[in-house]
Amino acid sequence: MTRRGLVVAVVAAVVIAGAFAVGGGWLAGPSPTVPLLEITSDPFRVRVTAGGNLSAVTSTPLTAPMKPQMPFTLSWLVEEGTVVAEGEVVARFDASQLEKDREDGLSDQRISDHRIGSAETNRKVNEGKLERDADVAESELDVAQEFQSSDHELYSKIEIIESQIDTELARTRSEHARESRSIQADLSQAEIDLLAIERRKADIKVEQAAEGLAALEVRAPHGGIVMLERDWRGNPVRVGDTVWPGRPLARIPDLAEMQAEVYVLEADAGDLEAGLPATVWLEAHPGEPHPAAIDKVDPMAGRRNRRVPVQYFRTVLALEETDTEVMKPGARVRAEITIADLDEAITVPRQAVCAVDGASVVYRWTRRGFVPVEVELGPAALGRVVIASGLEAGDRIALRDPTASDADDGGDRGSTGPAIPGGRS
């Protein structure tokens, strides 16, 4: 080969190699307009941490008495963490008001009994008087009828008329006496019935006071450790507080089965679901991990402190085993929840996934340019998301939407760059 032929061959080889390097093949295509990422399959693990406390799965509540319907003043309460036996007194309430109510009821009973006795006596006296009046009226009627002047030959017309008037008057007096006796009997009975109602009200007052006095002591239904209930501020009920019927005072947990109640930041709780594995450490024993799993997650986030606008999802972790020697209700714990633990997974930056007509799409680079590929998303971590299907290792994708305008992407639409090796962010 001549020297000139050799030079031509070298130049041709350089041109072909350059075309292959730029275009990705023998037939050079368009150049990428956005940075590319070369897909690799790497381990992917996502874990979130949370803090909280231990609590019993089941516990027996202790509440203020339901009867009578009145506020109570707490006069004595056991200290939190006290071990009590079945039937032991846990709380006592002030009895002064109920004792006063009982004395008032007893006084009302005595007054009612006196009034009923007086009413019975007055009824008997009035009935006797009306009975005598009725007898006199009956006697006068009999005399008037017996000696009525009705003979026209012996008596004048005026005497006959007067005799008739006297007879009619005696009859009217007799009927009035009988009616008065019946009416007075009804009135006396009605008065006695009203007084009996007052007596029953006094009886009810005494019964309620006695029932309330008997309920002023709250006793433990079974043995265990007393845990005081707290209000929305986190304060337990204290001696001297006024409580209403049915208010929770304390609880006696079943220490045989414990659970962890932890609080996960709202930003980390997107993929939480029941069944995910977790590990719990007690702050008092940080070197002993305890396997657990998510039992339930609250449907809505809330604040742990009303003054701090950070929201959490309360998550209950079921422990595989309960170590009663070290696990106590209220103990502080730290938990690590495993959202994803994959030995091989394809992950891409979040900004590489675009929403097109409701579907998740990434743009794969080919010799013909960018081609939209619908993908199925898996677990996500801060800045990255797993592609469950739609991509394979070795694919090259756009790190952002290549169809976006310069105004949308910050004006670097025309920039090009080499493929960036895959990795976690």
Token match 């993908």: residue?
A: 375
pLDDT at 418: 37
Q: Are strands 419-421 and 89-93 parallel, antiparallel or unpaired?
A: unpaired
- Whole-prediction pTM value? 0.58
**Quick one: which of 183, 178, 214 has its CA closest to 92?**
214
Token reading at 333: 């714990």
CA–CA separation, 303 vs 121, rounded Å? 72
**Quick one: which of 240, 216, 211 has its CA closest to 95?**
216
pLDDT at 211: 83
CA–CA separation, 417 vs 375, rounded Å? 24
**Quick one: which of 229, 203, 206 has its CA closest to 218?**
229
DSSP per residue, 240-301 = T-EE-TT-EEEEEE-TTSEEEEEEEEGGG-TT--TT-EEEEEETTEEEEEEEEEEEEE-SS-
Assign 285 to helix, strand or coil: strand
pLDDT at 317: 97
pLDDT at 405: 61
Token match 């005696």: residue?
A: 170
**Quick one: which of 76, 77, 78, 73 has its CA closest to 99?**
73
Q: Are strands 277-282 and 285-297 parallel, antiparallel or unpaired?
A: antiparallel
CA–CA separation, 363 vs 370, rounded Å? 6
Token match 């009927």: residue?
A: 175
pLDDT digit string (tens) for the chain, length 425 residues: 444 544 444 444 444 444 444 444 444 456 777 889 999 998 988 899 999 999 999 999 999 988 777 888 999 999 988 889 999 999 999 888 888 888 998 998 899 898 888 888 887 887 777 777 777 777 766 666 666 655 565 656 676 676 667 677 777 777 777 777 778 778 888 888 888 899 899 898 888 888 888 888 899 998 888 989 888 777 888 999 998 888 999 999 988 899 999 999 998 888 899 999 999 999 999 999 999 999 999 999 999 888 889 999 999 999 999 998 899 888 999 999 998 888 888 999 989 999 988 899 999 999 888 999 999 998 887 788 899 999 999 999 999 888 876 545 444 433 333 333 333 33
**Quick one: which of 327, 315, 395 has its CA closest to 363?**
395
Phi, psi (rounded to 5 degrees) for 285: -135, 70
pLDDT at 63: 92
pLDDT at 8: 41
Query: 347 with 423: CB under 8 angstroms?
Result: no
| E strand spans, 39-149 | 41-56, 59-63, 72-77, 83-84, 89-93
pLDDT at 149: 59
C-alpha dist (Å) from residue 319 to 29, 278, 293:
59, 9, 7
**Quick one: which of 235, 224, 222, 230 has its CA closest to 247?**
230
